[in-house]
Structure formats: structure tokens, C-alpha cells
Amino acid sequence: MRRLLVYLVSIWFILISQPSLAAEKTLTIVHSNDLHSHFLGAPSNTAYSPSVTGDDDTLGGFARIATVIKAVKQSRKNSVLVFDSGDFMMGSLFHMLSRERSFELRLLSLMGYDAITLGNHEFDLKPNGLAQIITTAHRFRQIPPIVLSNVIFSQQSKKDDSLEKIFSQGFVKPYIVLEKEGLRIGIFGLMGKDAAEVAPFASPVTFNEPVATAEKIVSTLRETEKADVVICLSHSGLGKNKKHSEDEILAREVGGIDIIISGHTHTKMKEPLRVNNTIIVQAWEYGKQLGVLDITYDNGQFALKNYQLVVIDDEIKGDAEISGQIEVFQNEINRQVLAKYDLTFRKIIAETNFDLNIKTEESNLGNLIADSIQWYTNKNEYNTADPATRVVASIISNGVIRDPIVKGKTGQIAVCDVFRAIPLGIGFDKAETMGYPLITIYIYPAELKKALEVLTSIY
């Protein structure tokens, strides 16, 4: 009996003298960003076939992403958390019914996202539109936790009152705390400076300075909420110039953030960045990649154990449940949006034997869109009795051209592929119809020449 007692005491002494063996905890984080309603992958919706592998060259697709999320969860004994850092909306035909059906939020909920933040494009349909989207998802009981810490509502205007009410009801919170593996994990969201500047439709909503906000939130999470791990879902982004790389600045200036899951800049990374004690990750765009971090926590010390960027390609078979739900959503788009134009989501309307690309400078896709605007306006608005009504030139900004149109294996171009090329905008009519309005102006040739010279001088 004495020998057994000595043995047990010895085992107890070994365990307490080596806390790393007993206390180390592992956590896995899956992350995405800038999904932009790309449920069916890129660059061609018509080529995307998630139920079959090895037959197309598309990247992304929510059904494939769902498969990877499930596989990661099945392969780990520890807890797995799934996050997105904003701009999950605006970029395909599916966003045409976001206010009425909230397809994006509902899918993210079904796919098991634990928290997401809002990007600038979530404000493209104005504060009332975003409030409607969130309310709709809540009505369907399919909404992931949403965090955003630096939003400021106007005290003078009533145009953001509906969204302010959504925030006050807790549908969007400044931060949340999750308990996993015996750890308290604080998650908060930020809208970056550049993202805020390119969100004109957010007005009268404005955004507080990200670094100042982060300092306060991190202090609250660490000191009041006793968070062991702090994660920032930041729609700020990264840049080649370190002086203007917002998430690197955030990591340098704010201590206490363990992980920044970055978005907004559509950055294709090879490996995580480490700034001071903060790890920064971003997973490209449109769900073409999914980041997977395995982290350990031991005696107050956080460490990156492993990181993988999973390419979401045709080798991954899509999740049947998510594919089926997307098919239902696609049929709703056909009935409620396209039927009145005698169109369907996958209707072939053109063919090409070359790719139509996007470039910073002049591009064949930009020229085609500008020519199409001129042709359409003259066909519908030109009065032969009034020569002044004829459009002689049209201009399209490169910034609103979002996706290329590729020839693929068949050269066929469908309605959904054309829409993704220029999907953004909201009208000035009472119904706030989707799409930028066409504006016709009368101008002298000399004035047009001067205007174009000013624009080209920038480059």
C-alpha cells in the first residue's frame, strides 16, 4: 500500500511539474473573405459542376467550400471555428434578391460559419437595404453571428434608423466571446479606412478610426471578458506599401490581437504574415481558396502550429445539401428576376473564341461594355428627328467591371456570366432598382477631349 501511495504521488508530481503536457489546447480556424455572392465559383458559372469532379477548371463555389469545412471538422478532434471577413455580398445574380431572400447570409449559416463581419459592399444597398437583408435572414432563422465594432450612426439623419435598430437589437454586435476547448475566444470586426472610403451608399453611416476602436475593444476583451485568444475580422486589407498596409498597421499599433483575418484587398497569400505577435491571413477572393489554421494555447502562450491554403477546385466534390439549396435559389432568380426579360440564369446568349479580360489599362471587355452601352442607348433613345439625341461616345469605369468573361471549353456565354462582369450599383428611383443608371450628357467635343486628357494624365 505504501509503494502504491508513493507511485501515485510521483505521478501527481510529474503532472503538475510539466503543465505543458496537461494544459496545451488546440484550436482550428477556417477562414474566407470577399466571397461576393459567388455561389457557383469562377470564372464561369456555366462550367461549374460541383456534383462531378475532374471535368472543369473553375475555382470556388459554396458547395465545395461546405465540403472542405465538413472535412476539416471531421479530421480534427479539437474544436473548429469558421469565419469570414466581409464582402460576402454583391457580385452575381443571386444578390438581386438579397433584400427579399437574403441568400448569402442563409448559406453562410447553413455552412456553419461561427462569425462574420461586414465589408463595404454589404452597404451597397444602403443602410435600409442592409437592415432588410439581416431582418430577412433572421426571419428564416438562418443567420450567422455578425460583428462590427466601429460603426457610427447619424444623430441628424433618419436614413440609417432601421439599421441602427438592427444593431441595438443585437443582430450585429461589436464583439462576441465563444468558449471552445476551455478557452475564451474574443472575436470583433472592423471596417477599414479604404473600405469606408469606397462605401458611398453607407451614408449617413460612418466609421470610427479602426486602430482607436481596436485598442478599446481589445482592452475590453482582455480585461473585462478575460479572453484568452483575440481574433479580429478586419475588412481593411493588405498592400505592397507597408506604410499603407492597413492590417499590418493594425497589428503594429494594437497589442493583444492574436490573429487578424483580413479582407477587402483580394490578396493572394502564400503564407501568413507575422507582425510583432500577431498573425495575419487572407484567402484571396470569391472562395477560390480557404485558409485553415491550427493553433495551440499553452500557459498563456499562443502559437501557430500549422497553416494551409486549400485551393477550392474541381477535385473537391460539392456538398449535396448546399448544392440543392443553391439550385432552389437559382430557380427563384429565374422566376422573380429574369422571367420578365424572357431570360434564365443559364440561358446562352453569346459565344466567344477568346477571353474577355479586365485590365487597369484599356481592355477588350471594357471596350465591349462601352460599345454595348452606346448601341443600347442609340437603339432605345435616339430620335432621328433630333440629331442631338444620338450618343457619339460612352464611358465605363474599370472599377465597376468585376469579372472577366472566359471562353472556357465551349465558348458559350450565359446570362449569369454576363451579369457578373458588371453586377454592381443601385438606382435613384423609389424602388432602388439594382444596377447603375445610365446618364446621358450634352458636351462639346473639345470638353470631352479635355476630360479624357485629365483622366489619362493620372496614369
**Domain ranges (residues) in the chain:** 22-328, 344-457
C-alpha cell at 354: 477568346
Q: Is the pLDDT of residue 363 over 90?
A: yes
Q: Which residues of 435-454 are buried (b: 16+ CB within 10 A; e: fewer)?
A: eeeeeeeeeeeeeeeeeeee
Of residues 33, 35, 400, 82, the one with CA closest to residue 192: 33
Q: Is 122 helix (H, G, I), strand (E, B) or coil?
A: helix
b vs e for 18-50, b when ≥16 Cβ sit within 10 Å of the residue's Cβ? Answer: eeeeeeebbbbbbbbbbbbbbbbbbbbbbbbbb
Give residue 429's pLDDT band: very low, low, confident or very high (50, 70, 90): confident
Q: What percent of the chain has pLDDT over 90?
A: 85
> How many angstroms separate the CA atoms of 83 and 232, rounded?
10
Q: Which CATH code for domain 22-328? A: 3.60.21.10
H helical segments located in 98-168: 98-101, 103-110, 126-139, 161-168
- Tens of pLDDT, residue by residue over 277-313, are 999 999 999 999 999 999 999 999 999 999 999 999 9
Rounded mean pLDDT of the chain? 93
- Residues 210-244 have pLDDT tens digits of 999 999 999 999 999 999 999 999 999 999 999 99
pLDDT digits (tens, 9 = 90+) for 149-192: 999 999 999 999 999 999 999 999 999 999 999 999 999 999 99
Q: What is the pLDDT at residue 448?
A: 87
What does the pLDDT read at residue 4? 40
Rounded-to-integer distance, Cα 200 and Cα 47, Å: 34
Give CA 113 to chain center in angstroms. 13
Q: How confident is the model at residue 454 (pLDDT cuts 50, 70, 90)?
A: confident
* Predicted TM-score (pTM) above 0.85: yes
Question: What CA–CA distances, in Å, run from 358 to 20, 80, 404, 425, 447?
Answer: 52, 37, 6, 18, 28
The pLDDT value given to residue 455: 65
Looking at residue 13, its pLDDT comes to 39
Give me the phi and psi of 163, to 5 degrees please: -75, -40
Beta-carbon contacts of 61 under 8 Å, excluding residues fewer than 6 positions away, are 38, 39, 40, 41, 48, 50, 287, 312, 318
Residues above pLDDT 70, as percent of the chain: 94
Mean pLDDT value of segment 334-343:
98
Query: C-alpha grid cell for residue 297?
Result: 494555447
Kindly indicate the confidence band of residue 452, based on its pLDDT and cuts at 50, 70 and 90: confident
Question: Rounded to whole angstroms, how far apart are CA atoms 452 and 445?
Answer: 11
H-type alpha helices, 234-363: 246-253, 320-333
| 136: phi then psi, degrees, rounded to nearest 5 | -60, -45
Distance CA 142, CA 136 (A): 9
